[in-house]
Structure 1
Amino acid sequence: MTAITLPNPTVGSLESYIQAVKAFPVLSAEEEYDLARRLRDHNDLDAARALVLSHLRVVVNIARGYAGYGLPQADLIQEGNVGLMKAVRRFDPDRGVRLVSFAIHWIKAEIHEFILRNWRMVKIATTKAQRKLFFNLRSMKQSLGTLGPREVEAIAKDLGVKPEEVVEMETRLDGGDVALEPVGDDEEQGFAPIAYLTDAEAEPARQLEYKEGELLREQGLTQALASLDERSRRIIETRWLREDDTLTLHELAAEYGVSAERIRQIEAKALQKMKAAIVAQGCESATC
């Protein structure tokens, strides 16, 4: 994907960049499918470029949600664009979902890593539970004020962390807020959040498209899991589908009384079978 040149949000006016990416046309499902097939089957970089450019507006919308971490909006967008390009390279059009649904994970993952690497208030040795707390605490707070003891206990229980960790993270987050309005007379120093809070893309048609893609993906995964035997399904669920408490090959080997290599073979065969089931379902949806 290195041959693709994109507009750079870190150079010039951020407002001009946002207007520029909104000018790129939104692809229809048929256009997206054709471009993705060209990229996958023929490594067509022109097709890759068209896919990336048509989804830059999605990156801008996602990056806006992380404005409260005190990092330049342009940098967040730039990192999100990296995630988008990774998603385009890995996208399989025959799975029956739209690119936007597949790309959201990759875009957020790159932005999360950038924030954790650069935000001055976050420890380098952040655990998985602390990361989850870091990115969920803002939305879980019921008010703008300081958390009360009951709210702290409830959040700690929901996220699987200690109450003192919730209090500590709240202190860090409160210390990293940025002003909603520009500070001082020099508005060229940065782009205040107030200038781009209006989300023109949050229209019913776009939201319906997001939900449809998520529904198709969930249905495909559910049917693919149902095609597996009980042991294979448990291996896949405990290895791939849990956010916490995943099991290693050796732990599963001990549970079933076989070698770790045997568990790896079962896992590989199960993944291959699931992929075939998802592709078949996608073909049925696309009448291929």
Structure 2
Amino acid sequence: MTNGKLTLEQLYRQGRKTLAQSPSIGEDAGFEALLLFQKVFHLSREELLLQGNHLPSPAQEQEYAALLEKRLAGEPLQYLLGEWEFFGYPFAVGPGVLIPRPETELLVELVLEHLSGTTAPKVLDLCSGTGCIPITIAMEHPDAVCVGVELSEEALPYFRRNLELNHCDRVTIIPGDVLHLPAHPELTGPFHVVTSNPPYIARKELSQLQKEVLREPQMALDGGDDGLLFYRRLPEIAFSLLAPGGLLAMEIGEDQGDAVAALTRQAGFQQVKVHQDPAGHDRVVTGLFLV
């Protein structure tokens, strides 16, 4: 350190201390401070150890301070980074689109298991957001052809960007309302799988969410008065689009397993199951279209 300025190592430690002031960040302060540090300085943890006594430029120091300030104000870490990993793949994220969560990887795993050995399967994803579900399925299954439907004009640019980011050319994007699907040749089916991670938070509970989650689009969170608005329609829609033996897979809230499973059975699906995520919470409902 010279001239009273902070070195890179000291600046990182200061950032970690700053973020630790936030109750919602807490023990993750070191992890988040490092990710924001890496965004600005492009140094790995090992490189930081080797170059920690170097001085940052004033512009870099200001950029890092601004990111820390925004994070303390409740801006999601993922938005500040501009990119987040899902199933090992990078996905562009930012204001206007739902952030991919690790819990959703269970849905993808179940779909890939169902499609194992299937040649050129067709997959329809409803409420696609970033496109993380159809893009990941297309990347993981060598010849899957996927279609993603998304209504939000703010989310669609992220979906398109993520196709480019992952060099994926087997996903078709269709702008539209999943509850009133537009007439489109790619939506005629039949599909081997229909997936969805729809809005499922009850409207009265939205105000109780963490401030970071409230920065995400309400359109991607609001599941109506009881959180089941989309589940009352999606199974019926999927039933009309699936091929015999086809799978419906929907992500759910942890307290919605029984209700969504019942709605799925009412639509005519068989072998309906509620699957738990690694934390032991109900997370995905699946059902088979059997004739």
Q: Aligning the two structures, in what range does the TM-score lie when normalised by the shorter sequence?
A: under 0.3
Which structure's residues are more often strand, by fraction? 2
Query: TM-score, structure 2 length as denominator?
Result: 0.24
Which structure's residues are more often helix, by fraction? 1
